Amino acid sequence: AQSVSQHNHHVILSEAASLELGCNYSYGGTVNLFWYVQYPGQHLQLLLKYFSGDPLVKGIKGFEAEFIKSKFSFNLRKPSVQWSDTAEYFCAVSKNRDDKIIFGKGTRLHILP
Amino acid sequence: NAGVTQTPKFQVLKTGQSMTLQCAQDMNHNSMYWYRQDPGMGLRLIYYSASEGTTDKGEVPNGYNVSRLNKREFSLRLESAAPSQTSVYFCASRDYSYEQYFGPGTRLTVT
Protein backbone atom coordinates (compact mmCIF):
# COMPACT_ATOMS: atom_id res chain seq x y z
CA ALA A 1 0.00 0.00 0.00
CA GLN A 2 1.19 3.49 -0.70
CA SER A 3 2.25 5.69 2.17
CA VAL A 4 3.73 9.14 2.62
CA SER A 5 6.30 10.30 5.18
CA GLN A 6 6.93 13.89 6.14
CA HIS A 7 9.97 14.04 8.36
CA ASN A 8 9.63 17.56 9.73
CA HIS A 9 6.64 17.89 12.02
CA HIS A 10 7.25 21.46 13.11
CA VAL A 11 9.58 23.97 11.45
CA ILE A 12 10.32 27.48 12.70
CA LEU A 13 12.09 29.95 10.41
CA SER A 14 12.73 33.65 10.25
CA GLU A 15 11.44 35.71 7.35
CA ALA A 16 13.68 35.57 4.26
CA ALA A 17 15.13 32.19 5.25
CA SER A 18 15.09 29.38 2.72
CA LEU A 19 12.68 26.50 3.18
CA GLU A 20 12.87 22.83 2.36
CA LEU A 21 10.24 20.37 3.60
CA GLY A 22 10.84 16.68 3.11
CA CYS A 23 8.41 14.18 1.64
CA ASN A 24 9.06 10.53 0.87
CA TYR A 25 6.62 7.99 -0.49
CA SER A 26 6.65 4.22 -0.47
CA TYR A 27 5.08 3.13 -3.74
CA GLY A 28 7.52 1.86 -6.39
CA GLY A 29 5.46 2.34 -9.51
CA THR A 30 4.37 5.46 -11.34
CA VAL A 31 3.05 8.04 -8.91
CA ASN A 32 1.33 11.37 -8.90
CA LEU A 33 2.54 13.75 -6.19
CA PHE A 34 0.97 16.80 -4.58
CA TRP A 35 1.67 19.48 -2.02
CA TYR A 36 -1.27 21.15 -0.27
CA VAL A 37 -1.28 24.04 2.19
CA GLN A 38 -3.72 24.76 5.01
CA TYR A 39 -3.60 28.34 6.33
CA PRO A 40 -4.91 28.87 9.86
CA GLY A 41 -8.67 28.52 9.94
CA GLN A 42 -8.92 27.62 6.26
CA HIS A 43 -9.27 24.43 4.32
CA LEU A 44 -6.62 22.81 2.15
CA GLN A 45 -5.61 24.24 -1.19
CA LEU A 46 -3.26 22.92 -3.85
CA LEU A 47 0.26 24.37 -4.06
CA LEU A 48 1.60 22.21 -6.85
CA LYS A 49 1.48 18.76 -8.38
CA TYR A 50 3.67 16.39 -10.39
CA PHE A 51 2.44 13.88 -12.95
CA SER A 52 5.25 13.47 -15.47
CA GLY A 53 7.86 15.41 -17.39
CA ASP A 54 10.16 17.99 -15.83
CA PRO A 55 10.88 16.79 -12.28
CA LEU A 56 11.15 20.38 -11.06
CA VAL A 57 7.62 21.65 -10.56
CA LYS A 58 6.73 25.26 -9.91
CA GLY A 59 3.60 26.13 -7.97
CA ILE A 60 1.81 29.12 -6.58
CA LYS A 61 3.26 31.72 -4.21
CA GLY A 62 6.88 31.01 -5.20
CA PHE A 63 6.91 27.37 -4.10
CA GLU A 64 8.58 24.61 -6.09
CA ALA A 65 9.19 20.90 -5.59
CA GLU A 66 11.61 18.41 -7.06
CA PHE A 67 10.70 14.82 -7.85
CA ILE A 68 13.68 12.49 -7.36
CA LYS A 69 12.54 9.04 -8.40
CA SER A 70 15.65 7.24 -7.13
CA LYS A 71 15.07 8.65 -3.66
CA PHE A 72 11.26 8.33 -3.70
CA SER A 73 11.19 11.98 -2.69
CA PHE A 74 9.22 15.11 -3.53
CA ASN A 75 10.61 17.89 -1.37
CA LEU A 76 9.00 21.31 -1.23
CA ARG A 77 11.20 24.42 -1.44
CA LYS A 78 10.94 28.17 -1.30
CA PRO A 79 14.02 30.41 -1.55
CA SER A 80 12.75 33.13 0.79
CA VAL A 81 9.78 32.64 3.11
CA GLN A 82 7.37 35.29 4.28
CA TRP A 83 5.38 35.59 7.49
CA SER A 84 2.26 34.83 5.45
CA ASP A 85 3.65 31.35 4.68
CA THR A 86 2.83 30.31 8.24
CA ALA A 87 0.60 27.29 7.68
CA GLU A 88 0.50 23.51 7.69
CA TYR A 89 1.85 21.77 4.60
CA PHE A 90 0.78 18.33 3.42
CA CYS A 91 2.38 16.03 0.88
CA ALA A 92 0.07 13.56 -0.91
CA VAL A 93 0.51 10.69 -3.34
CA SER A 94 -1.59 8.53 -5.61
CA LYS A 95 -0.65 5.65 -7.83
CA ASN A 96 -0.70 6.56 -11.50
CA ARG A 97 -4.04 8.30 -12.05
CA ASP A 98 -5.67 6.23 -9.31
CA ASP A 99 -8.45 7.86 -7.34
CA LYS A 100 -7.02 6.88 -3.96
CA ILE A 101 -5.03 9.88 -2.70
CA ILE A 102 -3.09 9.47 0.56
CA PHE A 103 -1.73 12.32 2.66
CA GLY A 104 1.26 12.60 4.96
CA LYS A 105 1.02 13.75 8.56
CA GLY A 106 1.80 17.33 7.70
CA THR A 107 4.47 19.85 8.63
CA ARG A 108 3.51 22.87 10.69
CA LEU A 109 5.56 25.87 9.50
CA HIS A 110 5.89 28.92 11.69
CA ILE A 111 7.58 32.02 10.26
CA LEU A 112 8.90 34.58 12.71
CA PRO A 113 8.41 38.20 11.58
CA ASN B 1 -20.67 28.40 -7.47
CA ALA B 2 -20.34 27.17 -3.88
CA GLY B 3 -17.66 24.49 -4.49
CA VAL B 4 -17.77 21.82 -1.78
CA THR B 5 -20.22 22.32 1.05
CA GLN B 6 -20.51 20.33 4.27
CA THR B 7 -23.16 20.18 6.96
CA PRO B 8 -23.16 20.49 9.87
CA LYS B 9 -20.15 22.66 10.78
CA PHE B 10 -20.12 21.45 14.38
CA GLN B 11 -21.68 18.49 16.13
CA VAL B 12 -21.53 16.96 19.59
CA LEU B 13 -22.66 13.36 20.01
CA LYS B 14 -22.90 10.99 22.92
CA THR B 15 -21.22 7.60 22.62
CA GLY B 16 -23.49 5.23 20.73
CA GLN B 17 -25.48 7.88 18.89
CA SER B 18 -25.59 7.92 15.12
CA MET B 19 -25.36 10.74 12.63
CA THR B 20 -24.77 11.49 8.98
CA LEU B 21 -22.36 14.11 7.68
CA GLN B 22 -23.50 15.60 4.42
CA CYS B 23 -21.29 16.74 1.55
CA ALA B 24 -22.22 18.22 -1.81
CA GLN B 25 -20.25 19.65 -4.73
CA ASP B 26 -21.47 21.70 -7.65
CA MET B 27 -18.41 21.30 -9.91
CA ASN B 28 -19.61 18.19 -11.73
CA HIS B 29 -16.68 16.16 -10.40
CA ASN B 30 -16.79 12.39 -10.58
CA SER B 31 -14.56 11.58 -7.60
CA MET B 32 -15.33 12.46 -4.01
CA TYR B 33 -13.56 11.75 -0.72
CA TRP B 34 -13.96 11.73 3.04
CA TYR B 35 -10.92 12.40 5.25
CA ARG B 36 -10.49 12.89 8.95
CA GLN B 37 -7.87 15.25 10.36
CA ASP B 38 -6.39 14.67 13.79
CA PRO B 39 -3.47 16.51 15.44
CA GLY B 40 -0.19 14.90 14.47
CA MET B 41 -1.90 12.40 12.16
CA GLY B 42 -2.47 14.53 9.07
CA LEU B 43 -5.40 13.66 6.85
CA ARG B 44 -6.43 10.03 6.75
CA LEU B 45 -8.66 8.75 3.99
CA ILE B 46 -11.86 7.12 5.25
CA TYR B 47 -13.71 6.33 2.02
CA TYR B 48 -13.71 7.55 -1.53
CA SER B 49 -15.98 7.31 -4.53
CA ALA B 50 -14.70 7.31 -8.09
CA SER B 51 -18.15 7.79 -9.57
CA GLU B 52 -21.84 7.79 -8.75
CA GLY B 53 -22.84 4.48 -7.25
CA THR B 54 -19.31 3.27 -6.40
CA THR B 55 -17.42 3.52 -3.14
CA ASP B 56 -14.08 2.19 -1.87
CA LYS B 57 -12.44 1.90 1.52
CA GLY B 58 -9.55 4.15 2.39
CA GLU B 59 -7.04 3.89 5.22
CA VAL B 60 -9.43 4.06 8.20
CA PRO B 61 -12.91 2.86 7.17
CA ASN B 62 -13.89 1.03 10.35
CA GLY B 63 -16.89 2.53 12.12
CA TYR B 64 -18.05 4.46 9.07
CA ASN B 65 -20.35 3.94 6.11
CA VAL B 66 -20.78 6.08 3.03
CA SER B 67 -23.38 6.63 0.39
CA ARG B 68 -22.99 8.14 -3.09
CA LEU B 69 -26.53 8.33 -4.34
CA ASN B 70 -25.87 10.87 -7.08
CA LYS B 71 -22.99 12.75 -8.61
CA ARG B 72 -23.32 15.77 -6.33
CA GLU B 73 -23.63 14.20 -2.90
CA PHE B 74 -21.44 11.92 -0.80
CA SER B 75 -22.53 11.30 2.78
CA LEU B 76 -20.62 9.78 5.70
CA ARG B 77 -22.52 7.91 8.40
CA LEU B 78 -21.44 7.00 11.90
CA GLU B 79 -23.76 4.23 13.08
CA SER B 80 -22.59 4.12 16.69
CA ALA B 81 -20.25 6.99 17.53
CA ALA B 82 -17.20 6.39 19.70
CA PRO B 83 -14.87 8.92 21.40
CA SER B 84 -12.11 7.80 19.00
CA GLN B 85 -14.16 9.34 16.19
CA THR B 86 -13.77 12.82 17.64
CA SER B 87 -12.10 14.64 14.77
CA VAL B 88 -12.45 17.20 12.02
CA TYR B 89 -13.97 15.64 8.91
CA PHE B 90 -13.24 17.00 5.46
CA CYS B 91 -15.02 16.16 2.26
CA ALA B 92 -13.28 16.75 -1.06
CA SER B 93 -13.94 16.32 -4.75
CA ARG B 94 -11.41 15.92 -7.54
CA ASP B 95 -11.31 17.45 -10.98
CA TYR B 96 -9.93 15.96 -14.21
CA SER B 97 -6.45 17.34 -13.45
CA TYR B 98 -6.41 15.50 -10.10
CA GLU B 99 -6.66 18.67 -8.04
CA GLN B 100 -8.78 18.12 -4.94
CA TYR B 101 -11.16 20.77 -3.65
CA PHE B 102 -11.93 20.62 0.04
CA GLY B 103 -14.97 21.62 2.00
CA PRO B 104 -14.81 23.73 5.18
CA GLY B 105 -14.92 20.72 7.49
CA THR B 106 -17.16 19.36 10.23
CA ARG B 107 -15.84 19.43 13.78
CA LEU B 108 -17.26 16.40 15.58
CA THR B 109 -16.94 15.72 19.29
CA VAL B 110 -18.06 12.40 20.77
CA THR B 111 -18.43 12.36 24.55
Biggest CA–CA distance in chain A, Å, is 42
Q: Which of A8, A39, A101 should be substituted to probe chain B, the one whose Cβ sees the most B Cβ atoms within 10 Å?
A: A101
Q: A63: Cβ–Cβ under 8 A, 6 or more apart, which residues? A: A35, A47, A48, A76, A77, A78
Query: Which amino acid, A7?
Result: H
Q: How confident is the model at residue B64 (pLDDT cuts 50, 70, 90)?
A: very high
What is the full per-residue pLDDT of chain A (113 aa) written as tens digits? 778 999 889 999 999 999 999 999 998 788 899 999 999 988 899 999 999 899 999 999 999 999 999 999 999 999 999 999 999 999 999 987 778 899 999 999 999 98
B20-40 core/surface letters (b: 16 or more CB in 10 A; e: else): ebebbbeeebebbbbbbbeee
| Residue B45: predicted pLDDT | 96
Query: Across all residues in chain A, what is the average pLDDT?
Result: 93
Chain B neighbors of A49, CB-CB under 8 A: 97-99
Helix (H/G/I), strand (E/B), else coil: A7: coil
Helix (H/G/I), strand (E/B), else coil: B28: coil
| Residue A21: predicted pLDDT | 97
% of chain B residues with pLDDT over 70: 99
